[in-house]
Amino acid sequence: PVSPERHAALHGPLLSWYDRNKRDLPWRRTRDPYAIWLSEVMLQQTQVATVIPYWERFLARFPTVKALASAPLDDVLSGWKGLGYYSRARNLHRAAQEVVERFGGKLPSTAEALLTLPGFGRYTAGAVASIAFGEEAPIVDGNVARVLSRLFEVEGLPGDREREATLWALASALVKGERPGDFNQALMEHGATVCRPESPLCLLCPVRDGCIAFKKGRVDELPPAKVRAAPRKLFLALAVWPHAGTLLFARRADKGLFGGLWELPAVEVEEDTSEAEATERLSTTLGAPLTLLGTLDSVRRQLTHRDLTLRLLRVSGDKRPTKSAAFQELRWCTPQEAEALGMSTAMQRALDAALGHGVMGGDAPVKKTPGRVARKATGR
């Protein structure tokens, strides 16, 4: 879909622009395929500034594919704590184990082989194959899609099948030639810093003369904005159950929200579920009769697709469970021991809130239980 003249007019200028203007990012200073792969996984759904310290800490903790593969999943999830989208970490761990088993601990060098590993979609396979191994493998992420949509006046909403096929075909044609990894990064960098969603810097664009959207005055129209669904409200009741200096923690099933992570044991409730009913559901889930002692503040968290309210219920019981069919694992831990568990930021906030109320024996008060759950949650 791209003539040789058009290819030359875009490929060379974008590479030259990248050489002059690229941001100095730590994963651009390494040739280690594992480190490059890790950066690509972390950068999915997460901003560069957030990723840098996580990437450095994670590499220090798991410096090689073999180190990552042999680490317990708990340690990996703990190293991911706060980055969100935890399925990325679980897939990273599983893929590392497969790389050790199937490829002798070295990442395969082609996008085709990389696609056979857990967590590798077309984008990640293309990014690692081109950047780490120099394969002429295309990539299309949000930045690249925006750049190509404007350069070639590609119509259609994000997610439209015909549009996606067109964008991948364009990316496949353009990446051919020298330095495919740098070219792919040039496209991404250009989209992140110049061809931005809002207020694009067309005056600084090195390929403005070849941009159809610029010529036609359609830069602000392309690509059309994706309509986001309103976040779904989700209410969880959490059991805050102290005993002898420990609290009860549960590890969720691998699939679903916060999959594979540790938490104060939680069940889904409705907005108007009473504390008594919520306690009953927690009793059933844990397989142990619970007594409700009081309620603590609720914790609110805004996730990408969910508006989450965590309701903290202070409970006790004579029978202390050590396993439950609803969870992978139950564990009684001190707050210090819990720091090493893989836990979501939302659950960490809930734990901090519970500890702030002195549930381990301090003097902070527990609210008396009202008849119904308070409608307004306290954000933290």
Question: What percentage of residues in the chain have a pLDDT greater than 90?
Answer: 90
Q: What is the mean pLDDT of residues 29-54?
A: 97
Q: Are residues 125 and 238 in the same domain?
A: no
Q: What is the mean pLDDT of residues 363-379?
A: 39
For residues 346 and 27, what is the distance between their CA atoms, to the nearest angstrom? 29
Q: Are residues 20 and 103 in the same domain?
A: yes
Token code pair at residue 338: 């819990």
Q: Are residues 40 and 180 in the same domain?
A: yes
Where are the extended beta strands (E) located within 156-290? 232-240, 242-243, 246-251, 262-263, 266-269
Longest dimension (CA), the chain: 78
Angstrom CA distances, 186 to 111, 275, 277, stand at 19, 55, 56
Structural domain count, the chain = 2
Domain membership flag for residue 226? no
What are the pLDDT digits (tens) for 290-325?
Answer: 999 999 989 999 988 899 999 999 999 999 999 999
Q: Are residues 107 and 236 in the same domain?
A: no
Residue 373 reports pLDDT greater than 90: no
- What letter would DSSP give residue 45? T
Q: Are residues 179 and 284 in the same domain?
A: no
H helices of 180-290, where? 180-193, 212-215, 275-286
Q: Are residues 208 and 248 in the same domain?
A: no
For residues 153 and 214, what is the distance between their CA atoms, to the nearest angstrom? 9
Distance of alpha carbon 234 from its chain centroid, rounded?
19
Contacts of 165 (CB under 8 A, 6+ apart): none
Question: Which of 65, 62, 73 shows the shortest CA–CA distance to 341?
Answer: 73
Q: Are residues 237 and 137 in the same domain?
A: no
**Which residue range(s) make up the domain with 144?**
4-216
Domain membership flag for residue 374? no
pLDDT at 371: 38
Domain membership flag for residue 380? no
Domain membership flag for residue 68? yes
Report residue 362's pLDDT band, with 50, 70 and 90 as the boundaries.
low
- The catalytically annotated residue of 5, 40, 178, 263 is 40
What are the pLDDT digits (tens) for 97-118?
Answer: 999 999 999 999 999 999 999 9
Tell me, yes or no, if 40 is annotated catalytic. Answer: yes
